[in-house]
Structure 1
């Protein structure tokens, strides 16, 4: 009997506790939840979308701006057969005033975004210019089924100038919206270049207004308000007038030009050729335009400044020479260049078939003697060369404020083992020492390393002040750098300097030319074929990297001409004209 009473008592107690718990949950714990639901019934949040910031050059010239216009929206829930005629009448009215749009496409766009869960007006036309739309504003705005909103379109007033650097915006995808909520409100997001790298800064921060409304959705009171951010602009280091000038004098089909302040890494100009008009992406690129650009052998889509990978050829020789000195080769080291070096069954030729005679460090750079670097590289080996070049920034990103920067290849034994599962051969050391073989660099890596030779500090290239870093001191002895600088001076002005005939600037320039082969020359070829005799896409890439003025370095200028043939001939005049322009614009005040 007692056992039964105990069981009944326990059961009653359990039921009582369950009921009390439920009462507690409904009256206390869920109060906050239902209170929030209640608020939503009478408080509306109106989002305020910030205007995308503009991009200016260092002198205030506009590079990316917003053009004002209007968007057209249609009220939801008209996709059903019941409302088919109503929807068609609305679209017909729009097309009557804007006949350039197609009825079927507008209806398809509407239906794609309409659903029973959506209670917002549906945008079917993103942007119509202000001057085109304004005469029709009253007619359309008076329609209760149509909503007119202000809209902006990104515009690039400089068109193709600096297009790779500036980048462009495009319609935000579902993935973009997932990662960036604000893009769901303005519909666009940075897709490339500075537009993407600094998208968070340029798009700004949302504002809002919370208002209390009555049952008729009429505003009663403003409860809270925050304005969208307005400090969204960026001013970058580029000088668009200098950039335009470079565009004028660069008459080759493709390549890259970089002008960098060697003391702080500011990029005064950075051009990748061929360029393209960013406005075609902002408005929406056609299939025809896309295919034409995609099939162009000169690769206009590629930002060659950071994504072009090239054998550096002889412009790497100062870095290799520094490695020789750092690894025990004396500064009075000489070789006798007879025009070739035989290793096993292979003959490694110097570019000068009759040889350079007795060559020291300075002469090796001035006359670009390959044999000097062949023999020096055999003394210290590839791993030590690779280690020095790694310090100088090769095989790694420069850190410039651009997206998807390539690192290139700074090869060594470990790299080849991991990449190809093969041993390293001595012949590979020899060809790497003159910037051929597996070694690949970007033009910006070459410009940065040139800045180091000029100043003794490795700068971080950048376009916007937020990306500035103090240049790095790599502790290379002054006397080592001094040999490199004197050798580069001789490239421009010594009797047999490889750029002597092509450097014609009023500014004293230190330089190094390079000719980087894109096809190998057979060992059976006793006399090297002239570049002019090769088919265009088989010709070597032409380099020159420079700094000036020589005594007080301010700027590095690096020029790459794809398939340009001889380095100095294809690039020397371009570099010279750029220095004269820097002097004319007041960036360089002393010619010495």
Structure 2
């Protein structure tokens, strides 16, 4: 009996606890939920979308701005059968005043976004320029079923100048929106260049306005408000006047040019050729335009400053020379260059078939003697050369504020084993020592390494001060650097210097030329064909990398002309004119005694 009573009492207690729990949930716990739900019925949050920040050059000239205009929206719930005529009438009025738009497409856009749950006006035209729309404003804005809002569209006033660096915005994809919620409101996001790298800064932060509304969705009271951010602009290190001048110099050519402050890594100009007008992406590129650019053998889409991978040719020789000195080869090391070096079944030729005679470090740089580097490389091996070049920034990103920077290839035994599962051969050491074979670099890597040769510090290239880092000191003795600097001076001014006939400037320029082969030369060819006799796409790439003034290094200019032939001849004059422009613009100061 007692057991039965205990069971009954337990059942009664369980029922009481259940009822009390339910009462608590309905009266207290769920109150918060339903209160929030209720608020959603009478409080609307109106988002305030920030205007995208502008991009300016170092002197305040505009590189990316917002063109002002209007968007057109239509009242919701007009797509039902009974409102069909009203919708048609409304769209007809819009098309009559804006004949560039097609009625069927506007109706389709409207229906795609209309639903019984949506009480907001539906945007069917995202942007009409101010000057095109202003005369139509009164007509359309007076209609109850039409709403006109201010809108903006990205515009690049410099057009193709510095297009790879500035980048462009485009319509936000579903993937973009997943990773950046603000892009779902403004509909755009940075797709390339600085527009993408600094998208978070440029797009700003959303504002909002919480508004109490009645059953008809009419505004009664503003409850809370936060303004969208306005501190979205960035001023970069480019000088667009210098960039424009460089573009004129390089008309009709393909390649890249970098102008960098050797002391801190600021990029005054960085051009990849051919360029393209970023506005075609902001307004929407046509299929014809896309196919023309995609099929261009000169690759206008590629930002060759950071994504162009080239054999460096002889411009790498200062780095290889530093490796010789770091690894026990004495400063007075000389070789007798007879024009070729036989190894196994192959004859490794110097570019000068008659040879350079007795060559030391300074002469090897000045006259670009290949045999000097062949023989030095055999003394220390590829791994030690690769180690020094790694310190100088090869085979790694420079850290510049651009997206998807390539690292290039700084080959060694381990690299080849991993990539090809093959051993390293001595002939590969020899060919790598003159910047051929598997070695690949970007123009920006060469400019950065040249800055180190000039100043003894390795800077981080950058376009925006937020990306600045203090230049790094490396453990390479300054006496070694002095040898390379003197050799680079002789390249420009010694009688047999490889650029001596082409360097002509108001400032004293230290330089190094390079001719990077695109196709190999058969061993059977005794006399090499002239570059001008080769087919265009078989001609060597022409390099020159420089710094100036020699007495007080301030700036680096690196030029690569694709299929340009010999470096000094193709690029020496261009580099000279850039330094003259830097002088004329007031960037370079020259001590009185050297003017």
Task: Give TM-score, length-normalised by structure 2.
Answer: 0.98
- SS of the residue aligned with 2:565? coil
**1:13 and 2:2 matched:** no
Unaligned runs of 5+ residues in structure 1 are none
- Check whether the contact 1:373–1:434 (CA below 8 A) recurs between aligned residues: yes
- SS of the residue aligned with 2:306? coil
- Counting only pairs closer than 5 Å after superposition, residues 494-573 of structure 1 correspond to structure 2 as 494-573=494-573
Equivalent position of 1:419 in the other structure: 419
- The two structures, once aligned, show a CA RMSD in angstroms of 1.2
Equivalent position of 2:223 in the other structure: 223
1:172, distance to aligned residue in structure 2 (A): 1.1
Per-residue CA deviations over 1:57-79 (Å, capped at 9, x if unaligned) read 01111101111100111223334
Following the alignment from structure 1 to structure 2, what is the Cα–Cα distance between the partners of residues 124 and 378?
A: 70
1:120, distance to aligned residue in structure 2 (A): 2.5
Following the alignment from structure 1 to structure 2, what is the Cα–Cα distance between the partners of residues 7 and 405?
A: 76
Equivalent position of 2:429 in the other structure: 429
- Check whether the contact 1:171–1:187 (CA below 8 A) recurs between aligned residues: yes
Q: Which moved more, 1:251-260 or 1:196-205?
A: 251-260
Equivalent position of 1:403 in the other structure: 403
Equivalent position of 1:308 in the other structure: 308
1:331, distance to aligned residue in structure 2 (A): 0.7
Per-residue CA deviations over 1:21-67 (Å, capped at 9, x if unaligned) read 12222222222222211222222222111111111101111101111
Equivalent position of 1:296 in the other structure: 296
- Check whether the contact 1:252–1:561 (CA below 8 A) recurs between aligned residues: no
Following the alignment from structure 1 to structure 2, what is the Cα–Cα distance between the partners of residues 216 and 125?
A: 26
Equivalent position of 1:170 in the other structure: 170
Following the alignment from structure 1 to structure 2, what is the Cα–Cα distance between the partners of residues 139 and 211?
A: 29
Following the alignment from structure 1 to structure 2, what is the Cα–Cα distance between the partners of residues 113 and 326?
A: 68
- SS of the residue aligned with 1:306? helix
- Counting only pairs closer than 5 Å after superposition, residues 46-57 of structure 1 correspond to structure 2 as 46-57=46-57
Per-residue CA deviations over 1:301-353 (Å, capped at 9, x if unaligned) read 00000010000000000001001111111111111111111111011111000
Unaligned runs of 5+ residues in structure 2 are none
Per-residue CA deviations over 1:271-330 (Å, capped at 9, x if unaligned) read 000001111111101000000000000000000000100000000000010011111111
**1:68–1:372 Cα change, 3 Å:** same
Following the alignment from structure 1 to structure 2, what is the Cα–Cα distance between the partners of residues 216 and 255?
A: 62
1:110, distance to aligned residue in structure 2 (A): 2.2
Equivalent position of 1:244 in the other structure: 244
**1:93 and 2:93 matched:** yes
Equivalent position of 1:280 in the other structure: 280
1:121, distance to aligned residue in structure 2 (A): 2.1
Equivalent position of 1:376 in the other structure: 376
- SS of the residue aligned with 2:466? helix
- SS of the residue aligned with 2:307? coil
Equivalent position of 2:366 in the other structure: 366
- SS of the residue aligned with 2:165? helix
1:226, distance to aligned residue in structure 2 (A): 1.2
Equivalent position of 2:109 in the other structure: 109
Following the alignment from structure 1 to structure 2, what is the Cα–Cα distance between the partners of residues 395 and 143?
A: 63
1:80, distance to aligned residue in structure 2 (A): 4.1
The count of residues paired between Structure 1 and Structure 2 equals 592
Following the alignment from structure 1 to structure 2, what is the Cα–Cα distance between the partners of residues 511 and 252?
A: 24
- Check whether the contact 1:253–1:298 (CA below 8 A) recurs between aligned residues: no
**1:420–1:79 Cα change, 3 Å:** farther
1:447, distance to aligned residue in structure 2 (A): 0.3
- Check whether the contact 1:259–1:555 (CA below 8 A) recurs between aligned residues: yes
Following the alignment from structure 1 to structure 2, what is the Cα–Cα distance between the partners of residues 528 and 193?
A: 41
Equivalent position of 2:454 in the other structure: 454
1:82, distance to aligned residue in structure 2 (A): 4.3
Following the alignment from structure 1 to structure 2, what is the Cα–Cα distance between the partners of residues 29 and 367?
A: 86
**1:101–1:135 Cα change, 3 Å:** same
1:252, distance to aligned residue in structure 2 (A): 4.0
**1:252–1:512 Cα change, 3 Å:** farther
- Counting only pairs closer than 5 Å after superposition, residues 133-212 of structure 1 correspond to structure 2 as 133-212=133-212
Following the alignment from structure 2 to structure 1, what is the Cα–Cα distance between the partners of residues 317 and 25?
A: 77
Following the alignment from structure 1 to structure 2, what is the Cα–Cα distance between the partners of residues 124 and 445?
A: 47
Equivalent position of 1:2 in the other structure: 2
Following the alignment from structure 1 to structure 2, what is the Cα–Cα distance between the partners of residues 215 and 185?
A: 26
Equivalent position of 1:487 in the other structure: 487
Q: Which moved more, 1:141-150 or 1:349-358?
A: 141-150
1:109, distance to aligned residue in structure 2 (A): 2.1
**1:102–1:219 Cα change, 3 Å:** closer
Per-residue CA deviations over 1:486-511 (Å, capped at 9, x if unaligned) read 00000000011000000011100000
Per-residue CA deviations over 1:401-449 (Å, capped at 9, x if unaligned) read 1111111111111111111111111111111111011110000000000
- SS of the residue aligned with 1:270? strand
**1:221–1:109 Cα change, 3 Å:** closer
- SS of the residue aligned with 2:305? coil
1:119, distance to aligned residue in structure 2 (A): 3.1
Following the alignment from structure 1 to structure 2, what is the Cα–Cα distance between the partners of residues 370 and 82?
A: 85
- SS of the residue aligned with 2:157? coil
